[in-house]
Amino acid sequence: MADAILELEHLSKRYGDYLAVDDLSMVVPQGAVYGLLGPNGAGKTTTIRMIMRIIAPDSGEVLLDGRPVDDDRRRLIGYLPEERGLYRKMKVLEHLVYLGTIRGVSPGESRKRATAWLERLELADWSAHKVEDLSKGMQQKLQLIGTLLHRPRLLILDEPFSGLDPINTRTLKDLLLQMAADGVTIVLSTHVLPQVDELCTHICLINRARAILAGTLDEIRAAYGGNVWRVHTELAPETVGALPGVVSVKRFADELLVELDGGAGPRDLLRELVHRGDIDSFTRFTPDLENIFIRAVEEDRSNVG
């Protein structure tokens, strides 16, 4: 794929009798914010570790810009693992300089970049403190800075919002959106679906070690929305349910969700509604990501066997 920065081709990984990742293929477009989603144990972290060459796949290949990832090309990736790893006795700025140098940045440039990031994330006053003096949220920001010092083209974040308070969560969201606007590609693995809804352009949903849903978030929302319409009206659900082409009517806050059969069109429904009463609003129903996630996983589970 010409505009892909990261491609996974038929990756599989087994631990004894346990199949952690099963023939997984995935394409991450350049400049995307890509959500890697799935229930606990679905295979997300194993997939990320194979991308980063921490573990080797039993079969399949990982490509970066169309070429296999080796140790040199791995330097193009910034990786924030779910398990945080910091040297607690080191001082904050010294730690960042160390992290920069092991990623190929000179000590002087690492210090310059680290100082700028500490200012940006409001940690400058802690530069001379030991890492162990920082709160959990501060340490989270510190490790994120270390992930960014070598200016990666691809950023992989595994549960980056874990342990952050609402203010720091907002700070991280704004930072990720700015980085995406600047052309950095981001792969985001998280259980916090509203944040995926807010940040991601594409998603891949993994369940039972396999990809069961992938594409742009807009395409997936449209597909799962179906021929369903949100209606704000004083009409009773029973009245709306009796209209031609209506399959079902459900309450949705102070609106009605009206599902039409495949052959029915929204114009005909709207005409029938207006003929019977006042209509304050009439819009297509777009399900949120949590609704899609649950529905897709349940459908996949029902296909077992």
Question: Considering 201, 221, 241, which residue would you say is the last residue of a domain?
Answer: 221
Residue 145 within any structural domain of the chain:
yes
pLDDT of 1 above 70: no
| Number of CB atoms found within 10 A of residue 254's CB | 8
Same domain, 276 and 159: no
Same domain, 66 and 182: yes
Q: Please count the structural domains in the chain.
A: 2
For 65-164, where are the E strands, in sequence order? 67-68, 77-80, 154-158
pLDDT score of 305: 53
pLDDT score of 253: 84
**Which one has a higher pLDDT value, 85 or 49?**
49
Count of residues in the chain:
305
Tell me the per-residue pLDDT of 26-46, one tens digit each, with 9 for 90 and over.
999 999 999 999 998 899 999
Same domain, 161 and 270: no
Same domain, 256 and 169: no
Same domain, 129 and 241: no
Same domain, 129 and 23: yes
Residues 6+ apart with CB under 8 A from 124: 115, 118
Average pLDDT in the 76-87 region? 87
Average pLDDT in the 3-22 region? 95
Same domain, 233 and 196: no
Average pLDDT in the 97-120 region? 95
pLDDT score of 86: 87
Two structure tokens written together for 112: 């310059």
Task: Write out the residue range of the structural domain in which residue 161 sits.
Answer: 4-221
Tell me the per-residue pLDDT of 113-130, one tens digit each, with 9 for 90 and over.
999 999 999 999 999 999
How many Å apart are CA 300 and CA 304, to the nearest integer? 7
Q: How high is the mean pLDDT of the chain?
A: 91
Average pLDDT in the 165-184 region? 91
Two structure tokens written together for 67: 């070429």
Same domain, 203 and 106: yes
pLDDT score of 84: 72
pLDDT score of 162: 81
Same domain, 152 and 177: yes
Same domain, 81 and 213: yes
Residues 217, 210 contacting (CB under 8 angstroms): no
CATH number at residue 268: 3.30.70
Share of the chain above pLDDT 90, in %: 69
Same domain, 202 and 236: no
Instruction: For residue 304, name the pLDDT band (cuts at 50, 70, 90).
Output: low
Residue 41 within any structural domain of the chain:
yes
Residue 292 within any structural domain of the chain:
no
Instruction: For residue 236, name the pLDDT band (cuts at 50, 70, 90).
Output: very high
Same domain, 159 and 13: yes
pLDDT of 270 above 70: yes
Residues 6+ apart with CB under 8 A from 208: 22, 42, 300, 304
- Kindly tell me the sign of the dihedral angle through the C-alpha atoms of 64, 69, 72, 78: positive
Residue 142 within any structural domain of the chain:
yes
Average pLDDT in the 197-217 region? 93
CATH number at residue 37: 3.40.50.300
The one-letter amino acid at 267: R
Cα–chain-centroid distance for residue 47? 14
pLDDT score of 83: 77
